[in-house]
């Protein structure tokens, strides 16, 4: 029986990546639900596969214990917080990711979200569709002081784009030794915009820090939903302590939480990487990683 690979990510469309698997005689099975799989769903199917092209579904100890044949997990994307590395190591399952692929697409969407907010594109569109002709006064990018939290590949690219637009950009990254997480509370009041690009699941914009934001601050989150205290953000949006929030990485997906009722919360369904180029690059790189880790010759 030949090798089987499961693309458990919610989408897998790269013709080049599929052809590469076919060239090696590998059977590819796609996610039938076209959404993030639950723990039970991935557990029920993982045992029959030799390789996994993974999204953000839970790949914990319980799930991996059922992966009797699995040799490699290739994450399509950057984050690997959903993977139990210790369990994978113990079971001899190699784990990889594609850190370069999402950089441009996520940075571009973050900058686009900010521009749409400061130029009132979303509410102005709603006005016209509701028969209202209202000219709203916006802001220029050059007026804004932006704090980038997390200065990896995507944070750096976002900073570069915003600097080119004229924003005044500062960086906070707990992995840069001159910063400490406790120092954040002392500086957030200075910034018009906070843009999150950090890894991990630890809450960064806590209730305390949100209470100290500059009134009318804009928050952009393309990284992880759990980096922000959802309840405190909901309250801040309703009081206009936070004027706008854009979130592409949400607390639960599909998202049906508190912010659904906030007109000043712009919510997108985790699509920052959904450009043709980005998906093709990431999916092909993930296949290359998978073939390497499965020790299949090129």
| pLDDT per residue as tens digits for the range 134-149 | 999 999 999 999 999 9
- 286 with 75: CB under 8 angstroms? yes
Q: Mean pLDDT score of the chain, rounded to an integer?
A: 94
57 plus 197 within the same structural domain: no
Predicted TM-score (pTM) of the model is 0.88
Pull the structure tokens for residue 211: 């209470």
**Residue 109 sits in the same domain as residue 255:** yes
Strand partners, 265: 245
- Partners of 95 in the beta sheet? 73
Predicted local distance difference test score (pLDDT) of residue 233: 98
Domain that holds residue 78: 4-101+276-293
pLDDT at 136: 96
**What are the distances in angstroms from CA 211 to CA 100, 243, 265?**
35, 13, 17
- Does 191 fall in a domain? yes
What are the structure tokens assigned to 142, written together?
């050059």
Q: Once rounded to an integer, what is the mean pLDDT over residues 188-215? A: 95
Could you tell me if 151 and 159 are in contact, meaning their C-beta atoms sit under 8 angstroms apart? yes
Q: Flag whether 298 is in a domain.
A: no
**Same domain? 89 vs 11:** yes
- Domain count for the chain: 2
Report the distance separating Cα 77 and Cα 92, nearest Å. 22
Task: Please indicate, yes or no, whether residues 91 and 107 belong to a single structural domain of this protein.
Answer: no
Of 79, 98, 78, the C-alpha closest to 17 is 98
Q: How far apart are CA 115 and CA 137, in angstroms?
A: 13
Q: Quick one: average pLDDT of 276-296?
A: 94
Residue 177 has, within 13 A of its CA and on its CB side, a CA count of: 0
26 is written with which tokens?
């590998």
Mean pLDDT value of segment 241-250 = 97
């Amino acid at each position: 029986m030949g090798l089987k690979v499961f693309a458990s990510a919610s989408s897998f469309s790269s013709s080049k990546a599929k052809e590469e698997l076919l060239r090696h005689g590998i059977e590819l099975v796609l996610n039938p639900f076209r959404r993030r799989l639950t723990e039970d769903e991935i557990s029920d199917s993982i045992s029959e596969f030799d390789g996994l092209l993974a999204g953000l579904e839970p790949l914990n100890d319980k799930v991996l214990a059922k992966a009797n044949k699995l040799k490699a997990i290739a994450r399509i994307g950057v984050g690997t917080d959903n993977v139990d590395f210790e369990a994978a190591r113990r079971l001899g399952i190699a784990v990889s990711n594609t850190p370069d692929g999402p950089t441009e697409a996520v940075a571009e969407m973050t900058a686009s979200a900010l521009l749409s907010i400061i130029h009132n594109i979303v509410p102005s569109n709603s006005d016209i569709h509701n028969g209202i002709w209202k000219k709203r006064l916006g802001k220029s990018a050059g007026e804004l002081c932006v704090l980038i939290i997390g200065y990896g590949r995507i944070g750096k690219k976002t900073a570069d784009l915003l600097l080119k637009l004229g924003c005044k950009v500062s960086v906070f990254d707990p992995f840069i030794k001159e910063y400490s997480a406790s120092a954040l509370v002392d500086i957030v009041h200075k910034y018009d915009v906070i843009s999150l690009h950090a890894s991990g699941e630890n809450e960064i914009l806590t209730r305390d820090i949100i209470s100290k934001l500059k009134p009318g601050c804009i928050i952009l989150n393309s990284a992880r939903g759990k980096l922000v205290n959802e309840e405190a953000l909901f309250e801040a949006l309703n009081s206009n302590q936070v004027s706008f929030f854009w979130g592409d990485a949400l607390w639960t997906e599909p998202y049906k939480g508190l912010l659904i009722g906030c007109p000043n919360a712009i919510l997108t369904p985790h699509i920052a990487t959904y450009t043709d180029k980005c998906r093709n690059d990431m999916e092909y790189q993930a296949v290359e990683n998978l073939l390497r880790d499965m020790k299949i010759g090129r």
